[in-house]
Amino acid sequence: MKDPNDRRVLPSTPVERLRLYGVFAVFLAGFLYVAGGLAYRQLLQSGDLKEQSNSQSQRVILRPPARGRIYDRNGYALVDNRARWSVKADLAALQKEFRAEYLRLVAAEKAREVGQIDRERLMEDARLRVLQGWLNKVWFVIDETNRNSKLRRPTTKTIPVTAPGERHVSLDDLRKHLRERRALPFTLVSDLAFPGASHAQSPEDGSKSVARFIEQFPVEGPIRLESDIIRTYPFGALASHVLGYVKDTDQLPENVNDISDVRIESLQKMHYTGKTGAAGVELTYNHVLSGFTGWELWTKTSSGYNQTRLKHSEPAQGSNVILSIDYRIQAATEAGLSKIKDPQGKLLPAAAVMLDVHTGEILALASQPTFDPNRLADRVSTSYYTEVEKSGAWLNRATQGLYAPGSTFKVITAIAGMRNKVVDWDDILECGAFYRVGNRDFPEHEPVGYGDVNVDKMLAISCNVWNYQVGLRTGIEGLSAEARRFGLDRPLLNTVSDVESGGRPMTELPFAASRGLVVPDREYKLRIKAGPWNDGDTANLSIGQGYLLTTPLHMASFAASLARGETRTTPSIIHDVRRDGRHQGAEPIGLSKPQLEAIHGGMVRCVEEGTARVARIPGLPYAGKTGTTEYFQKGEKAHLAWMIGYAPADNPVVAFAVLVEGQLDTNTWGGKTAGPVAKEMLEAWAATAGSSLPVPPKPKAEPGR
């Protein structure tokens, strides 16, 4: 019987029941919280959690595509790709060897009782020793000099003087590889088959090296043969300033996050070194040539090495580009330039251009000195880069070189004079040994003068005094306006869109001269703080000297315009069969038929009997105009040699310009120096125009692609 005085709280009391309810509520809330959290993470966050897991256990390896080819107008490949066979080490497969060598080195250090052991250094040393051992074996197999060796074991051979690094594993390269590309195979020999390698003297020797490797090394071993694509230029240095070259790039492609249905934004990305255009058409049309990046999705080990390939997508080769260049004319042009040398046998800087008169397509564009893009396609040696730099070969003198056009400008002076009605085609001017302007005598290049001279004779003999008189009568305004009508003050090449170039818009041949072009006038001289314009400046301009600056491409375009009787030609390096012969900004020159015939006749006489007679071609009459211009080099006078023109004389098809930079110790004159180059160019064109040489079928690509 319950004691009424007993005040202990029993479980059945209302207070105790409330406490139990509270405990149960807490446990229930905790259970619901945990269960809700698990459900939330399993049902709602499963995608994010899976992605986080994948980002820690998977990676994407990007594989650059082969670049598109570049063809000449007849379908000959000027730029192609070739397979490069490289010997590479699978670092993941060599882990056991690394570990064994590491333990051996640790034991050796302990036996020496050196105190504290630098284990990180020993692991690095172990990797280096193992890889060097494999590299020695590779060289023993692929080196032809080992074929007759009686001792069939790897030996340390004499390192070739030409490439001392080829037989040694570079510690710096290994460190960089482990830091940036641990999952990728490590390169031991970069190129087995290329004839430019120090150990391969011919393509056959290179192929033998590949065959010997395949014979001696198992396919699934840790040392493997891998192939990739490298740029090759079959004609060597031919048209190098047009084609350009490629360089390594580690920049990820723009489509890296949308190249597949795999979400790779958060995954680790690794990629083999790709190539990008660095100059010429390779740069301008880089986006067209580049293609689409391939990829591989891999799982990775805790050490960071690849484990299993889950998915992949093959890279797609870039599109082709078809140039307007005819490689046969280009080769003849460069051969002609290569014959122009100083007394020491060094090539003189020079440039030459040939255009189709009607379409403006460039058939040849050469600049001297040149470079071999094959030597820039892979790793560029410092010595070769310096060699090109010192020679001045990076400059494309045809599009970037700025020069006074000299007596070739006399054609524009004659046109300006006749259009401004200060002289006509049949007017005779007295031309003595000099012409006085102010208190200065401006000389004729013939000491006794030329006597009576009209337009026709002036162009044939390149009379200075005739141009002084006509230039002063026309005035600076008339001369500069006429030069601008022919586009000497503005870029002429088409601008490639940023879609095609993959970046900012640029001209078809990048970095063509624009700001440096000068057609001087009164305002220009005041702007450069050279004082007010005077008659002496006008006299100088009338013969193409003074402040006037233009490029060989501009003068070739002027010749093409003159041949058509128009003022503008838009040159293009891209071949397009759809061109209709219309040129932006072109208008009739504005001369009468007798006036045009006088200019045409004088330029034909220039070749047949005048200053360009050294460049005469029997059976091919053509129009030409030579020029010799003074310029200063190291404070002393030297000369530029020019020749422009078009051919054939009666029905022009091609126009050209040749420029040679004379040096202080050279005797450089327009017809004598530039004329023979023009002759070789025209002879090559004539041969191709009537040639029965078989032409290969054109590649299936849209013009310009």
Write down the H helix ranges in 239-326. 240-243, 280-284, 286-290
Does residue 542 surpass a pLDDT of 70?
yes
Does residue 238 surpass a pLDDT of 80?
yes
Higher pLDDT, 513 or 391: 391
Rg (CA), the chain: 37
- Residue 574: pLDDT band by 50, 70, 90 thresholds? very high
Does residue 45 surpass a pLDDT of 90?
no
Fold annotation for 327-689: Beta-lactamase (3.40.710)
pLDDT value for 229: 81
Does residue 12 surpass a pLDDT of 60?
no
Mean pLDDT over each residue of the chain, to the nearest integer: 84
Number of residues that this document lists for the chain: 705
Range among 208-222, 351-365, 653-667 rated most confident: 351-365
For residue 623, give Cα distances in angstroms to 119, 412, 425, 647, 681.
Answer: 80, 15, 17, 6, 14
pLDDT in tens, 631-650: 887 778 889 999 999 999 99
Does residue 696 surpass a pLDDT of 50?
no
Does residue 393 surpass a pLDDT of 70?
yes
Cα–Cα distance measured from residue 283 to residue 314, given in angstroms and rounded to the nearest whole number: 24
CATH 3.40.710.10: which residues of the chain?
327-689
Higher pLDDT, 247 or 2: 247
Does residue 612 surpass a pLDDT of 50?
yes
Q: How many other C-beta atoms can be found within 10 angstroms of the C-beta atom of residue 5? A: 5
Q: Which residue has the tokens 């880089």?
A: 286
pLDDT value for 32: 76
Nearest CA among 216, 197, 89 for reference residue 154: 216
pLDDT value for 695: 44
Which of 133-142, 309-318, 447-456, 641-650 shows the lowest mean pLDDT across its residues?
309-318
Q: Which helix (H) or strand (E) holds 496?
A: strand 495-496
Pairing of strands 268-271, 246-249: unpaired
Q: What is the pLDDT averaged over residues 558-584?
A: 94
Nearest CA among 624, 352, 589 for reference residue 462: 624
Q: What is the pLDDT averaged over residues 580-591?
A: 92
Q: Which helix (H) or strand (E) holds 230?
A: strand 223-232
Higher pLDDT, 294 or 186: 186
Identify whether the C-beta of residue 642 lies closer than 8 Å to the C-beta of residue 659: yes
Report angle CA 118, 121, 127 to the nearest 5 degrees.
140
Cα–Cα distance measured from residue 154 to residue 312, given in angstroms and rounded to the nearest whole number: 38
Cα–Cα distance measured from residue 73 to residue 327, given in angstroms and rounded to the nearest whole number: 8
Which of 45-49, 79-83, 338-342 shows the lowest mean pLDDT across its residues?
45-49
Q: How many other C-beta atoms can be found within 10 angstroms of the C-beta atom of residue 371? A: 22
Which of 40-44, 291-295, 574-578, 620-624 shows the lowest mean pLDDT across its residues?
40-44
pLDDT value for 304: 61
pLDDT value for 705: 35
Cα–Cα distance measured from residue 226 to residue 224, given in angstroms and rounded to the nearest whole number: 6
pLDDT value for 588: 96
Q: Using DSSP, how many helices (H) and how many strands (E) does the chain show?
A: 20, 22
Does residue 152 surpass a pLDDT of 50?
no
pLDDT value for 224: 84
Burial readout 674-700 (b: 16 or more C-beta within 10 A, e: otherwise): bbbbbbbbbebbbebeeeeeeeeebee
Does residue 687 surpass a pLDDT of 70?
yes
pLDDT value for 271: 53
Identify whether the C-beta of residue 235 lies closer than 8 Å to the C-beta of residue 331: yes
pLDDT value for 272: 56
Cα–Cα distance measured from residue 369 to residue 80, given in angstroms and rounded to the nearest whole number: 23
- Residue 198: pLDDT band by 50, 70, 90 thresholds? very low
pLDDT value for 306: 66
pLDDT value for 162: 38
Residue 43: DSSP 8-state: I
Q: HSE of 618 in the Cβ direction (CA atoms, 13 Å)?
A: 0
pLDDT value for 49: 44
Does residue 204 surpass a pLDDT of 90?
no
Burial readout 465-494 (b: 16 or more C-beta within 10 A, e: otherwise): bbbbbbbbbbebebbbbbbebbbbbebbbb
User: Helix, strand, coil shares of the chain as percentages rounded to 5?
Assistant: 40, 20, 40
Q: Which two tokens stand for residue 267?
A: 């995954």
- Residue 442: pLDDT band by 50, 70, 90 thresholds? very high
Q: What is the pLDDT averaged over residues 184-193?
A: 81
SS3 20: helix
Cα–Cα distance measured from residue 459 to residue 559, given in angstroms and rounded to the nearest whole number: 14
pLDDT value for 13: 62
Cα–Cα distance measured from residue 26 to residue 33, given in angstroms and rounded to the nearest whole number: 10
pLDDT value for 680: 96
- With a pLDDT cut of 90, the percent of the chain lying above it is 51
pLDDT in tens, 52-98: 444 456 767 777 788 999 999 999 999 999 877 888 898 888 999 99
Cα–Cα distance measured from residue 379 to residue 701, given in angstroms and rounded to the nearest whole number: 31
